[in-house]
A and B are shown apart, each in its own frame.
Chain A
Amino acid sequence: MLTGYIALMITIILVGLSLYLLFKILPSISQNRYRPWKISLKRKDIMENLAIENNPPAKDDSYLHPFESGEVAKEYPAGNITVQYYVIVLLFVLFDIDMLLLLPWAFDFYSLGLFSFIETIIFIAMPLFAVYYAFRRGYMRWMR
């Protein structure tokens, strides 16, 4: 039965290998402003030196900062980040585990019959109260 997964393993290996090769050869073929700027006076090289590819407009380190539409970037302070919808994330964990528990039930649904169906409806309705609570307390707005 394990032979069915061989293609999956081969895919992981192949895509991983190709991505590794891609990023291995990428610095050698792409434009790179860390490459030392060579000065030569041959006619062919003069045009190359003047070209904007080898002579990028930003000579300082400003391109290494986070992009902020030309302003000087203000980085947010290190530390914890407020996730304003953390209650929703808790609800998500609740429902996800709920669904995980219900998968075997759905698989055997027809043979388990009506009684387990009613039980399951009650089982799903309980976390729905949590959703209602979160909605009434306003946790579903983006900014509370």
Chain B
Amino acid sequence: MNLLIRIHDWFSFLGPGVSYGIAYLLETIFILIFVGISFMALIYVFRKYMARIQLRIGPNRVGKYGLLQVVADAFKLIGKESILPANRDDLAYRLAPLIIMMTTMVSFVIIPYGSLAYFGSLTITHSDVTLVLLFGVLSLLPIGEILAGISTKSNYALLGALRGVAKDVSFEVPMLISALAIIMISSRSFITGAQTYNSLSLAGIVENQVIPYGIIDPLGLLIFYISMVARASFTPFDLAESDSELITGYTTEYSGMRFGLFYIGLFGMVYLGSFFVSILYLGAYNGPASSDLGFIYLFIKTIILVLIAFLAWVSLPRIRVDKFVNLGWKYLLPISIINLVYAGLFVLYIR
């Protein structure tokens, strides 16, 4: 049973064609609403968490405990004026936030969500290559950054875009090599010891993951998590928008709702990356009674990873620019290749 069949059952009195059409539409809207609500919850939790660490109270006026602050902020951003700079490259300027937003939303649809009691499996994209698909979609994000940086003739935006590209270029390679190690480990079944044929899809990796791969491959977990936080441009790595040097980096010339879309992209990336890490390394929705509670397991793991990333945001100082490219190429890349060798030997000999 999955979400599609369940919604199809609700509307089955309309005939099979119409009800499947409605089911495809409604399951997508269901996931998008879930993602939107969790964005708002994440921003609220982040502001409260940051306030507690800095000995403040945080948002507490709008609604009970300030719960509606995020909604108020969204309306404020919509109501603000969008200043369009004079010397802009118009198409690139308008396209950049759309690319960021579209990419974030599409990548959330690809993720397998496990199953929840009544609805069954919440996975809505069924494909054999979702891992490759997700990496492909994520590689569209830098295009948005570059377009935002060079579309206006602002020095700060250009510097931010240059740093953003350096970040993506430096940390994508260790991320990919760690994912390669996971595909290798997943290519041999733990139960039968034979070759498996589903290790390129996220759902297949979770299926093969009898022991969480984070226990087998802790080095890969570390590298992947660091690269993920860096690609989400969270604070130890937020050189692209370091607000004390460049004003906000490549989003300097944006205001109003366009800036809000960039902000959603920032939080969306760390949320998505936490889903990604918990699927590849932490066993995702496997566990006791996983056909009823699987989604809950995945969600709890993801929230813990997001909270660790928030903790890094509020407690670590920003990494220096010249040490930044070094971290990706000089440390993470050799360690990830060592990790690849270890994974190969593990699959061939230790199992």
Contact = CB atoms under 8 A, between A and B. Distances in A.
A46 interface: no
Interface string B164-201: 01100110110011001001100110000011000110
A92 B172 contact: yes
A120 to B, nearest CB: 8
State the majority secondary structure of interface residues on B. helix
B28 A74 contact: no
A137 to B, nearest CB: 13
Contact of B187 (A14, A66, A92, A109): A109
A142 B125 CA distance: 41
A50 interface: no
Contacts of B199: 106-107
A29 B109 contact: no
Nearest to A11: B109
B306 interface: no
A4 B180 CA distance: 24
Interface string A40-82: 0000000000000000000001011111110001111000010
Interface stretch (B271-279, B282-290, B337-345): B337-345
Contacts of A74: 155
Given A14-B29, A109-B183, A111-B195, A83 B162 contact: yes
Most buried by A among B169, B170, B194: B169
B125 A4 contact: yes
A30 B132 CA distance: 40
Contacts of A106: 180, 183-184, 187, 199
Interface residues of B, number: 77
Contacts of A85: 166, 169, 325
A3 B241 CA distance: 40
B124 interface: yes
B253 A19 contact: no
A76 B155 CA distance: 7
B210 interface: no
B187 A110 contact: yes
Nearest to B320: A142
A15 interface: yes
B140 to A, nearest CB: 12
B153 interface: yes
A6 B300 CA distance: 28
**Of A12, A26, A32, which is in contact with the most chain B CB atoms at under 10 Å from its CB?**
A26
A14 B28 contact: yes
- Shortest 6 CB-CB contacts between residues of A and residues of B: A4-B126, A66-B154, A64-B86, A75-B153, A106-B183, A7-B124
